[in-house]
Chains A and B, each alone.
Chain A
């Protein structure tokens, strides 16, 4: 590897290769650049490996000194790891992005209608669109939330959908993360780092900024406040420094200029109002952006052993004295079984055709689909219906016979807990790996804000599987990240550059 770096300063065409049968985000199958990536690919070739590696090293150092970390929790200790970042950006044509953005907004509107309906009239069940028995088996349905009407009828205010692109170039929604999706801080930090590493490349592109997210978030959260006199007090509620996303919790609080609170900083008084303990005495809290799971929110209502939450919080919420984002119970629609019905929800609630594709999903709770899954497991990805973080994922064509047998038994034991989908190939992008450029698989997590209006980040967080051939992009399991550029392409009617003025 060293000899190669010493002898080859420039990246050659063969360095930028594409794996046969996969879609590459920057390159066509013959290794030439896709039109919207042409300037970037040209720059990569011109800079050469050594210069790219030097920029990567600088970026890594920036990440270390800025303390951009994620926490891995093991042996009862939280260990900070530097955020893994690949210096080569992933680019998306803005025309394609408009389509994705519209699809995401549509999806979240429908999902929010569904949640509101489920906790109230349940028309979707009465009309035979969604099977009633699914609700009884759902671990994320919260009976405590029945009859609640959060403002604007919105429950899932902040979501982070995972998108993947299959070999045919079609973008699919892989899952809707409606509980406490994380990663948006890294999206913003990645841009900061990339700007330093690639200032010269940014100059040649019109890249949509991502920095506005925290302003949009604060505006959304403020809009959720129950009617109050004067300014609403918004806080971010974190489980504490041992949480894997603690960095992000602090980041968001800092960028919004609001307090980052832990459960012990809050209390609910006899008036069913939430207060925080400040040096001025108790101060009313109007909106809580909570980054802890439902079950830990309120020991009175959910897990009685939770020390992370606030006793009485659900009483205050039900009394309409505090807004919680995302609303308790919103996770009911973030379930790999419910996922299969999302296209139906879009048609049912909005009367529209889905803009974004859903991955065909086999639900083991149905006998016929279950049989299919067991017979075709080698061609499928089998997932637990309710886990996050990539754990428990079985990729059929890579599993050993023993693993397949073990999973078969697990499905038979509890069919409702399992779903399966065809194996998508996941697109790749050129990634710097140990001194050479290799195609690596990636996904994309845009963040969607839904309130009175909707907002989608320009791009999102690109996560990349750094191990060769791997499809696991989670940072806790060897995944890295890339800055994501939504690029405005110059169209024939708008000249690429203004003529120089004399």
Chain B
């Protein structure tokens, strides 16, 4: 059965928003954990979280103070931030609601269930005492959705669009973490707390354990950056996400129309590296990567959805 263009777009966005919610709570949780490990003497700021999620301007326009409560509330539960976790789950649900005839019923149930939870427990996501539990729930339900789709959904075009949305959002998020968190650490090798911070970077992408298995060496900036950019086996690395998108597109009609833009984004990802860089250079490289991913997004929408509103 041919897939409606509108439905393809809604599935794509449902998956992106769900991934966004999951990634955001993971980043907030990992950052909270890192700050706990740092001594009182180290000045800490929550502002990098705004930079990662690209919401600094919006936050500062609405809020006077950039303290923990203000920033975490903004990222988790602030209605004025359309990308906050509660909104992202709501948007995933809205998109799935009008495309639910093509996804397994259980998948809708998971997202609906999570929506009911986050809408009722938004303050739990902010309070330090319950923040981690809230994050666990969001991550567990996102993974439950993943499991339902993986185990019960036919590998049809609808499935490809869900996976493309998820992978593009994931690649984008990994790139942002690298551009902000890693770039701030590069060159600071004398910093006694660098290792703790690098661990935090890996944790914010659930990558610590797999990194350790893959490298079997102490945690170092270059290796971490390289792992998160290029490791083909780790599913959250930029290359791995891009490969998933490429595979999905190869099974869709007219997927070859995107081969140019795909080649560009792969080349950009390959060029970026953890060697011999200062923070500004890494930041610039991840910017390039993000704009290449943005082009890929535009090409997919233009090819399959077009401009008929």
Which residue numbers of A lie inside 8 Å of B, CB to CB?
Answer: 64-67, 240-241, 250, 253-254, 257-262, 264-265, 276-281, 283
B7 at the interface (CB under 8 A from A): yes
Give the distance to chain B from A459, nearest Cβ to Cβ, in Å. Answer: 23
Give the distance to chain A from B3, nearest Cβ to Cβ, in Å. Answer: 5
CB pair A64 B116 closer than 8 Å: yes
> Quick one: which of A67, A257, A265 contacts B4, CB cutoff 8 A?
A265
CB pair A279 B2 closer than 8 Å: yes
- Point out the residues of chain B lying under 8 angstroms from A265, CB to CB: 4-6
Name which residue of chain B comes closest to A261, CB basis.
Answer: B4
Q: Which of B73-131 contact A (CB under 8 A)?
A: 94, 97-98, 100-101, 105, 108-109, 112-113, 116
CB pair A277 B4 closer than 8 Å: yes
B228 at the interface (CB under 8 A from A): no
Q: What bracket does the count of chain B residues touching chain A fall in?
A: 20 to 34
Name which residue of chain A comes closest to B160, CB basis.
Answer: A279
- Give CA–CA (A312, B8) in the complex, Å: 25
- Point out the residues of chain B lying under 8 angstroms from A280, CB to CB: 2-3, 253
- Point out the residues of chain B lying under 8 angstroms from A278, CB to CB: 2-5
- Point out the residues of chain B lying under 8 angstroms from A259, CB to CB: 1-2, 4, 7, 101
CB pair A283 B2 closer than 8 Å: yes
Majority-rule SS of A interface residues? mixed
Name which residue of chain B comes closest to A240, CB basis.
Answer: B98
Pick from A64, A65, A279 the residue with the most CB of B within 10 Å.
Answer: A279
CB pair B6 A264 closer than 8 Å: yes
In addition to A64-B116, A264-B308, 15 A-B residue pairs with Cβ atoms within 8 Å of each other are: A65-B112, A66-B109, A250-B97, A254-B100, A259-B1, A259-B2, A260-B7, A262-B6, A264-B309, A265-B5, A265-B6, A276-B2, A277-B308, A278-B3, A279-B304
- Point out the residues of chain B lying under 8 angstroms from A241, CB to CB: 94, 97-98
Pick from A66, A265, A277 the residue with the most CB of B within 10 Å.
Answer: A277
- Give CA–CA (A261, B101) in the complex, Å: 10
A-B complex: 6 closest residue pairs judged by Cβ atoms: A278-B2, A253-B101, A254-B101, A67-B112, A279-B304, A283-B2
B214 at the interface (CB under 8 A from A): no
Name which residue of chain A comes closest to B104, CB basis.
Answer: A254
CB pair B109 A250 closer than 8 Å: no
- Give CA–CA (A279, B258) in the complex, Å: 14
Which residue numbers of B lie inside 8 Å of A, CB to CB?
Answer: 1-8, 94, 97-98, 100-101, 105, 108-109, 112-113, 116, 157, 252-253, 304, 306, 308-309
Pick from A65, A259, A261, A281 the residue with the most CB of B within 10 Å.
Answer: A259
Majority-rule SS of B interface residues? helix
Given the interface pairs A64-B116, A259-B101, the reply to whether A277 lies near B1 with Cβ below 8 Å is no
Give the distance to chain A from B12, nearest Cβ to Cβ, in Å. Answer: 11
- Give CA–CA (A276, B108) in the complex, Å: 24
> Quick one: which of A65, A260, A261, A283 contacts B113, CB cutoff 8 A?
A65
Give the distance to chain B from A183, nearest Cβ to Cβ, in Å. Answer: 19
> Quick one: which of B3, B105, B108, B112 contacts A279, CB cutoff 8 A?
B3
Give the distance to chain B from A360, nearest Cβ to Cβ, in Å. Answer: 44
24 pairs from A and B in contact (CB 8 Å cutoff): A65-B109, A67-B112, A250-B100, A253-B101, A254-B100, A257-B1, A257-B101, A258-B1, A258-B101, A259-B1, A259-B4, A259-B7, A260-B98, A261-B4, A264-B309, A265-B5, A276-B4, A277-B4, A277-B6, A277-B306, A278-B4, A279-B3, A279-B8, A279-B252
CB pair A65 B252 closer than 8 Å: no
Give the distance to chain B from A362, nearest Cβ to Cβ, in Å. Answer: 45
Name which residue of chain A comes closest to B253, CB basis.
Answer: A280
Give the distance to chain A from B85, nearest Cβ to Cβ, in Å. Answer: 20
- Give CA–CA (A388, B177) in the complex, Å: 56
- Give CA–CA (A253, B101) in the complex, Å: 6
CB pair B308 A250 closer than 8 Å: no
Name which residue of chain A comes closest to B94, CB basis.
Answer: A241
Pick from A67, A258, A262, A276 the residue with the most CB of B within 10 Å.
Answer: A67
Give the distance to chain B from A400, nearest Cβ to Cβ, in Å. Answer: 42
Name which residue of chain B comes closest to A64, CB basis.
Answer: B116
CB pair B8 A254 closer than 8 Å: no
CB pair B5 A250 closer than 8 Å: no
CB pair A254 B4 closer than 8 Å: no
- Point out the residues of chain B lying under 8 angstroms from A264, CB to CB: 6, 308-309
CB pair B109 A67 closer than 8 Å: yes
Pick from A257, A261, A278 the residue with the most CB of B within 10 Å.
Answer: A278
Name which residue of chain A comes closest to B306, CB basis.
Answer: A277
Give the distance to chain B from A58, nearest Cβ to Cβ, in Å. Answer: 15
Name which residue of chain B comes closest to A260, CB basis.
Answer: B101
- Point out the residues of chain A lying under 8 angstroms from B6, CB to CB: 262, 264-265, 277
- Give CA–CA (A253, B158) in the complex, Å: 15
